[in-house]
Amino acid sequence: MTKYRQPVRVAIVGAGGIANGSHMPAVQAQDGEATVVAVVDVDRGRATDFAARWNIPAAYDDVEQMLKEQRPDLAILCTPPVAHAEAITTCLDAGVWVWCEKPPTLSLAEYDAVAAHEREGGPYASYVFQHRFGSGARALREQIRTGGLGAPLVGVCHTLWYRDDAYFEVPWRGKWETEGGGPSMGHGIHQMDLMLSLMGEWTEVRAAMGTLARDVETEDVSMAMVRFANGAMVSMVNSLLSRVRPATCVSTSPRRRSSCPTSTATTTPTGRGPRHPTGPRPPPRSWERRSTTRPVRTPRSCACCCGRCAPGNAPRSVATTAAESWASSPPCTSRRRPDAPSHRTC
């Protein structure tokens, strides 16, 4: 990796959630190769608090003034989407490179206008699409590149996330003018970007969207069928209405359960559960139910090991049993096989 003689001088613009939660820790992890010299927020108090919290020498409420006085090498833009375009162009025009949060801009026209401010050799603006770079994404990209999976013909790109009403109380969310869209623009954008980076150019999109449950201007669900230049077809769903239960570890491997990094967590602020916390086994989630569905021939096949299940209780399938049991019955108190996927009330 290139070692800079001087640390890259970074300015943070927008001192909110993502700047605090992700960008500051990321800059600090650069082993002295980057240092934050200033923070800007339209809310001056927020900028000052942020500076105090992260030991940043200067706080501003105006981007141009900060650029003039601090001359940073890089601006990390963490403002709401509506403010991206203006901040990007201001920084590029001042000769400052830009690392901007998603979505880049509110429209393609706005994106083209912003890109016109880039110059050959820099400065350029780049955008945060971290899902492209996870280990799973990289492994899949390599498999596609080497032909290990054969031709990619069918894809599923489903962002089934959950955000409650309170999430939309932040004034800029859920409005066309300030967020530019709903989950298509703000959430599924990550997975759609990943899919495009894997599958190449798209040629056809048939899509629909709806506002089904949240009090927002934008959509809260969108769906599309996308055809790619290589002939592949992909189903895309972006939803913020897809609540999942706080999950507990579903692995039957003691090693995996004991090494689960999220073992103490129970749920996340987003309402999504961690994948492998320890604790009692939960009812299977929908995808698990599908994957564990199998015919059960006799009551002996019931996954519960209490030995007292009446023949009439014999499940049609493990999946059905799990769903019914957890929905309507108190839990079985008898000793259970630790790997039992479900049990019925005895």
Ligand X SMILES: NC(=O)c1ccc[n+]([C@@H]2O[C@H](COP(=O)([O-])OP(=O)(O)OC[C@H]3O[C@@H](n4cnc5c(N)ncnc54)[C@H](O)[C@@H]3O)[C@@H](O)[C@H]2O)c1
> Residues in contact with ligand X, total (CB under 6 A)?
23
Q: Is the CB of residue 32 less than 8 Å from the CB of residue 97?
A: no
Instruction: Indicate the pairing of strand 202-210 with strand 221-228.
Output: antiparallel
Interface segment toward ligand X; rule CB under 6 A; list 16-24, 138-146, 262-270, 302-310: 16-24
Angle at 176 between CA 171 and CA 180, to 5 degrees: 100
Q: Contact between 80 and ligand X (CB under 6 A)?
A: yes
Compare residues 79 and 325 and give the one whose CB is closer to ligand X.
Answer: 79
Place of tokens 């920084």: 91
* Burial degree of 172 (CB within 10 A; 0-12, 13-18, 19+): middle
Compare residues 105 and 325 and give the one whose CB is closer to ligand X.
Answer: 105
Interface segment toward ligand X; rule CB under 6 A; list 40-48, 141-149, 287-295, 318-326: 40-48
Q: Contact between 346 and ligand X (CB under 6 A)?
A: no
**What is the closest distance, in whole angstroms, from the C-beta atom of residue 319 to ligand X in the complex?**
33
Interface segment toward ligand X; rule CB under 6 A; list 75-83, 217-225, 237-245, 321-329: 75-83
Q: Which of 183, 186, 277, 341 binds ligand X (CB under 6 A)?
A: 186
Q: Which of 12, 92, 98, 101 binds ligand X (CB under 6 A)?
A: 101
Amino acid letter, 344 = R
Interface segment toward ligand X; rule CB under 6 A; list 41-49, 251-259, 260-268, 305-313: 41-49
d(CA 176, CA 329): 44
d(CA 59, CA 13): 10
DSSP 21: I
Q: Contact between 177 and ligand X (CB under 6 A)?
A: no
3-state secondary structure of 28: helix
How is residue 16 written in tokens? 């909110």
Q: Contact between 81 and ligand X (CB under 6 A)?
A: yes
Contact set with ligand X (CB under 6 A): 13-19, 40-43, 46, 78-81, 83, 101-102, 128, 130, 170, 186
